[in-house]
């Protein structure tokens, strides 16, 4: 027989909600948060787009390179590094840095964000 212990939500472990109940509650709370944020002009953009510094996903940023241009330069840098042309790879990284693009190499892939 399991002992009844508080689970931090004011329920004992024998009364813990099931996963579907938790998901439904989370969805309701997320909708409420977006609605209230909308009234304040907040939380209406795609979080990934905001973190990457995009104004409109897929469009050219007001201050520089489009996402497609950045991706093309990153692919060119990858090819240069694969060919052991590290001078060219570094030059591409420097050019992107001048445009305010930060590259992060990890696990064999490169991600980027606008600084």
Let me know whether 69 and 33 are in one domain. no
Q: Do 25 and 75 have their domain in common?
A: no
The band of 78, judged by pLDDT with boundaries at 50, 70 and 90, is very high
Per-residue confidence (pLDDT) for residue 34, from 0 to 100: 81
Pairwise CA distance, residues 115 & 106, whole Å: 18
The domain of 39 spans: 7-44
The reply to whether 2 falls in a domain is no
Q: How many CA atoms lie within 13 A of 65 on its CB side?
A: 21
33 with 54, same domain: the answer is: no
Domain check: are 58 and 86 in the same one?
Answer: yes
Cβ distance 97 to 109 under 8 Å?
A: no
**Under a CB-based contact definition with an 8 Å cutoff, are residues 24 and 31 in contact?**
no
- Count: domains in the chain: 2
Same domain, 67 and 100: yes
Q: Is the same domain home to 80 and 99?
A: yes
Mark whether 22 and 75 lie in a shared domain: no
Encode pLDDT of 29-64 as tens digits.
988 888 887 777 777 777 777 676 665 544 444 457
The CA distance from 83 to 91, in Å, is 14
């Amino acid at each position: 027989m399991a002992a009844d212990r508080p689970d931090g939500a004011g329920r004992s472990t024998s009364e813990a909600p099931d996963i579907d109940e938790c998901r439904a509650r989370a969805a309701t709370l997320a909708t409420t948060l977006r609605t209230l944020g909308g009234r304040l002009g907040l939380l209406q953009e795609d979080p990934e787009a905001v973190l990457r510094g995009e104004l409109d996903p897929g469009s050219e940023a007001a201050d520089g390179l489009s996402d497609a241009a950045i991706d093309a330069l990153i692919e060119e840098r990858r090819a240069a590094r694969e060919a052991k042309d590290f001078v060219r790879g570094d030059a591409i990284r420097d050019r992107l840095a001048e445009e305010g693009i930060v590259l992060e190499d990890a696990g064999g892939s490169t991600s980027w964000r606008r600084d």
